[in-house]
A and B are shown apart, each in its own frame.
Chain A
Amino acid sequence: MSWQRKILRVDLTNGTTHVEPLNMEWAQQFLGERGLATKYLWEMMDPNADPMGPDNVLIFATGPLTGTMASTSGRYAVVTKGPLTGAIACSNSGGKFGAELKFAGYDLLILQGKAPEPSYLYINDDDVQILPAGELWGTTVWHTEETLKQRHRDPQIKVASIGVAGERGVYYACVVNDLHRAAGRSGVGAVMGSKNLKAVAARGTKGVRVKDPKRFMQVVKETHALLAENAGVREMTELGTNAMIDVMQDFGGLPTRNFNEVQFAGVDKIDPAAMMTPKPNGHTNLITNKACFGCTIACGRIAHIDPEHFTVVNRKEYIHASGGLEYETAYAFGPVVGVDDIDALTFAGFMMNEHGMDPISFGVTLAAAMELYEMGVITKAETDGIELKFGNPEALTVMAEKTGKQEGFGQVLGLGSKRLCEKYGHPELFMGVKGQEFAGYDSRALQGMGLGYATSNRGACHLKHDTFAEDMEDQTGKGKAQPCKDSQDATAALDSTGVCLFTAGAWGSEHLARQVDAACEGEWPTERFLETGERVWTLERMFNVRAGFSAKDDTLPERLLKVPAPSGTAKGRVSELDKMLPEYYTLRGWTRDGVPSEQTLHRLGL
Chain B
Amino acid sequence: MYKSLVLDADKCTGCVQCELACSMENEGLFNPARSRIKVFEFEHGKRSIPYTCTQCEEAWCLHACPTSAIVINRETGAKEVIDAKCVGCKVCTIACPYGTINFHSLTGKVVKCDLCGGDPQCAAVCPTGAIVYQ
Q: CB distance B44 to A302 under 8 Å?
A: yes
Verify if A68 is at the interface (C-beta below 8 Å from B).
Answer: yes
A96, B17: Cα distance in complex, Å: 12
B44 touches A206 (CB 8 A): no
Chain A residues, Cβ within 8 Å of B34: 205, 207
- Give 18 A-B contacts (CB < 8 Å), ordered by A residue: A68-B20, A68-B30, A103-B31, A103-B33, A179-B45, A180-B44, A180-B45, A207-B23, A207-B30, A208-B30, A290-B14, A291-B13, A294-B17, A296-B127, A298-B15, A298-B128, A300-B45, A321-B43
Contact residue among B33, B43, B125 (Cβ-Cβ distance under 8 Å from A320): B43
Question: A69-B30, A302-B45 provided; 6 other pairs, C-beta below 8 A?
Answer: A103-B32, A204-B33, A208-B31, A291-B14, A300-B45, A321-B45
Question: Per-position contact with A for B119-134: 1 when CB-CB < 8 Å, else 0?
Answer: 0000001011000000
Interface residues of A in 187-225 (CB under 8 A from B): 204-210, 213, 217, 224
Contact A287 B17 (CB under 8 A): no
A291 to B20, CA, bound (A): 14
Chain A residue contacts of B101, Cβ below 8 A: none
Q: Which of A270-307 contact B (CB under 8 A)?
A: 287-296, 298, 300, 302
- B1-46 at interface with A (beta carbon < 8 Å): 13-17, 20-21, 23-24, 27-34, 43-46
Instruction: Please give me the 8 A-B residue pairs with the lowest Cβ-Cβ distance, nearest first.
Output: A207-B31, A291-B15, A321-B46, A205-B33, A291-B13, A296-B127, A298-B13, A322-B44
In whole angstroms, how far apart are the Cα atoms of A287 and B14 in the complex?
A: 14
Is the C-beta of B48 less than 8 angstroms from some C-beta in chain A?
Answer: yes
* Cα separation A337 to B20 with both chains bound (whole Å): 43
**What's the minimum C-beta distance from B15 to chain A, rounded to whole angstroms?**
4
Residue of B nearest to A220 (CB): B125
Q: Which chain B positions have C-beta within 8 A of A298?
A: 13, 15, 127-128
Closest partner residue, chain A, to B10 (CB atom): A288
Chain A: how many interface residues by the 8 Å CB criterion? 37
In the complex formed, the residue of A with least CB distance to B20 is A69
Complex contact A320–B30 (CB within 8 A) = no
Q: Mark out the residues of chain A between 43 and 69 whose CB falls within 8 Å of any chain B CB in the assembled complex.
A: 67-69
Question: In the bound complex, what is the Cα–Cα distance between A206 and B17 (angstroms)?
Answer: 17
A270 to B48 Cα, complex, angstroms: 26
Binary interface encoding of chain A residues 173-188 relative to chain B, with 1 for a CB under 8 A from any of its CBs, else 0: 0000001100000000
Contact B44 A207 (CB under 8 A): no
Interface secondary structure of A, over-half rule:
loop
Chain B proximity mask over A468-496: 1 for CB below 8 Å, otherwise 0: 00000000000000000000000000000
Give chain B's interface residues, CB within 8 Å of chain A: 13-17, 20-21, 23-24, 27-34, 43-46, 48, 125, 127-128
Known: A208-B30, A213-B24. A290 touches B127 (CB 8 A): no
* Least CB distance, A282 to chain B, in whole angstroms: 18
**Residue of chain B at shortest CB distance from A208:** B30
Chain B residues whose C-beta falls within 8 Å of the C-beta of A103 in the assembled complex: 31-33
* B46 in contact with A288 (CB, 8 Å): yes
Q: Which of B24, B43, B48 has the most CB of A within 10 A?
A: B24
Bound complex: CA A155 to CA B24 (Å): 24
Given contacts A69-B125, A228-B127, contact A294 B31 (CB under 8 A): no
- Judged by a CB distance under 8 angstroms, whether A86 is at the interface is no
Q: How far is the CA of A215 from the CA of B74 in the complex (A)?
A: 32
Report the minimal beta-carbon distance from B121 to chain A, rounded to whole angstroms.
9
| A323 lies within 8 A of chain B by Cβ | yes
- Is the CB–CB distance between A294 and B44 below 8 Å? no
- State in angstroms the CA–CA spacing of A302 and B14 once bound together: 12
User: Which chain A residues lie closer than 8 Å to B23 at the CB level?
Assistant: 207
Point out the residue from B20, B24, B28, B48 that lies within 8 Å of A294, measured CB to CB.
B20
Are B29 and A207 neighbours in the complex by a CB distance under 8 Å?
yes
Q: How far is the CA of A217 from the CA of B29 in the complex (A)?
A: 11
Q: Which residues of B contact A296 (CB under 8 A)?
A: 15, 17, 127
Query: 1/0 per residue A58-82: CB within 8 Å of B?
Result: 0000000001110100000000000
User: A217 to B24, Cβ gap below 8 A?
Assistant: yes
Q: How many Å from the CB of A131 to the closest CB on chain B?
A: 23
Q: Which residue of B lies closest to A203 (CB)?
A: B33
Q: Is there an interface contact between A293 and B16, defined as CB atoms closer than 8 Å?
A: yes
- Minimum Cβ distance to chain A for residue B22 (Å): 11
Contact between chains at B46 and A287 (CB < 8 Å) = yes
Shortest CB distance A538–B (Å)? 32
Q: Which residue of A lies closest to B23 (CB)?
A: A207
- Residues on A with beta carbons closer than 8 Å to the beta carbon of B27: 207
Q: Specify which chain B residues have a CB less than 8 angstroms from the CB of A206 in the assembled complex.
A: 31, 33
Q: Is the CB of B44 within 8 A of A321?
A: yes
Task: Give CA–CA (A103, B21) in the complex, Å.
Answer: 15
- Name the B residues within 8 Å of A295 (CB-CB): 13, 15
Q: Which residue of B lies closest to A66 (CB)?
A: B30
| Bound CA–CA A213/B28 (angstroms) | 8
Across the interface, name the chain A residue whose C-beta is closest to B105. A205
**Contact partners of B32 in chain A: CB under 8 A:** 99, 103
Report the Cα distance A295→B23, complex, angstroms.
17
A289-B13 contact, Cβ under 8 Å, with A103-B33, A207-B30:
yes
Please, how many angstroms separate the alpha-carbon atoms of A330 and B116 in the complex?
A: 44
Max count, chain A CB within 10 A of own CB: residue among B13, B17, B31, B125: B13
The answer to whether B13 and A290 have CB atoms under 8 Å apart is yes
Q: Report A222-243 residues with CB < 8 Å from chain B CB.
A: 224, 228
> Which residues of chain B are within 8 angstroms of A321 by Cβ–Cβ distance?
43-46
Instruction: Give the chain B neighbours of A291 by CB distance below 8 A.
Output: 13-15, 48
Contact A205 B31 (CB under 8 A): yes
B38: nearest chain-A partner, CB-CB: A156
